[in-house]
Amino acid sequence: MKLGKSKYLRGKKIVPSPIPGNARVVELVDSYFQAYNAGRLREACHLFANRMLQSDVTIGMSLTGALTPAGLGGSCVVPLMKAGFVDWIVSTGANLYHDAHFAIGKSLHRGSPFIDDRILRKEGVIRIYDILFDYDVLLSTDKFFRTVIRKEEFQKEMGTAELHYKLGKYIHERERILKIKHPSVLSTAYQCGVPVYTSSPGDSSIGMNIAEIELSGYATRIDVLLDVNETAAIVLDAKRKGGRSGVLIFGGGSPKNFLLQTEPQIQEVLQINEKGHDFFLQITDARPDTGGLSGATPSEAVSWGKVDPNKLPDTVVAYLDSTVAMPILTSYALAQRKPRKLKRLYERRGELVDKLRAEYFKGLKKRSR
C-alpha cells in the first residue's frame, strides 16, 4: 500500500457542523450538501451557475412529469426565463396545459395522495398525486384553448413554437385582464422570446382540443418536422458563433430525447460536422438498467454523438425528485449569477433554419461530387 497524501483526498473536508436556523440556500448547498445525491445536486448547482450560465452558452431545458400543477412553472421556470438562464424549452403538452389553469384564474389545491378516488370522481374532483382541483378547471381551460385556437391566425400549418407563442399572447392578455399576479410559462415565453416546443403535440389536452377543432372543419395543423429542424438549427447556430450548447433536463421521456436528438440530427442525419452538446445536467429518478434512462446517461449519450466526448467531465446527473431539485437549483442560480441578456431565439427561427439548410446543402453538394 502506498503511503502519503493521495490525489483522491484533495476534495473539501466533510465537516459535520450544525446547520444554523437562518441558513440560506447557497450556504445550505455549498456547506451541507456533502455527499450522495445531495453532493450531486451541489455539483449540479455549481455546474449550472458557474459554467453553463456563461454568456456564450445557449441553454435548452426539458420538462417532463406533472411539474406545473405543483406550481413549479411560476416559481422556477418563469424566473429562469426572465433572468435569461433558459433560452429554449421542450416540454410535455400537459405541463403547458396545466400551467394555463393559473393564468385563467383557476385554483389547484394541496391535498393527500391517499383519498379514495371513487369518492373524488363522484364529487367532481381531479387528483394529480396530492394535488386536487375541480373538474370545472379542465372544462374551463379546454374552452379557453378552443376559443383561442379557432381564431383566424391559427388556421394554418405551424410548428409548436409558433403555436405556443400565439397562445402565449392570448394567455398574457388574459392574465392582464384578470390581474393575475404571477405570469405563466407561455405568457413569459411570449414576452421573453423563448421558443417552447412539445415533442408529442397530440399527447396532451391542448392536442386533444386541437383535434376537436379539426373535426369541426378548422385548418390548424402542427408541423412536427419543422420542430425537429428548428431545434437542430438553434444548437448548430450556438456552436457556429463560437459558443457552446448546454442541456438542462428535468425528468426524462420524449422531451429529454427531443432536446438531445438535436446533435444526432445535425451529425448523423444532416451529416454536418459537429461533436455534441457541451454541458449536460439532468435531474431524474429513473435508472438505466430498467430502460427508463436508456440512451440518456451522459456517457451513453456520448456514443450517440449527443454529448461532446471531450466535455464528459462537464456533466452531472442527480438522482432525485425534480420537485425538490428545481427550486433549489433555481434559487441557487438566481442568487449567484446576474441576469443574462435575453437571446430571443423565437424571433430568429427562420434565419436559423435557413443557415442550417445552407450548411446541409453545401455538404450534400460536396458529397455528391
Alpha carbon distance 115, 113 (integer Å): 6
The answer to whether the beta carbons of residues 63 and 250 sit under 8 Å apart is: yes
Are β-strands 109-110 and 131-134 bridged in parallel, bridged antiparallel, or unpaired? antiparallel
| Cβ-count burial 33-44 (b if 16+ within 10 Å, e if not) | beeebbebbbbb
CA distances from 51 to 172, 204, 227, 245 (A): 32, 34, 28, 11
Residue count (the chain): 369
Alpha carbon distance 79, 190 (integer Å): 14
Told to judge if 275 belongs to the known catalytic residues of this protein, a careful annotator would answer no
Catalytic residue among 239, 306, 311, 343: 306
CA distances from 31 to 24, 39, 268, 323, 346 (A): 11, 10, 43, 22, 39
Please return the burial class of 14, using the count of CB atoms within 10 Å of its CB with bins 0-12, 13-18 and 19+: exposed
The set of residues, in sequence order, having a beta carbon less than 8 Å from that of 140 and lying 6+ positions away, is: 104, 106
Phi, psi of 293 (to 5 degrees): -125, 20
- Give the residue numbers annotated as catalytic, written as ranges: 306
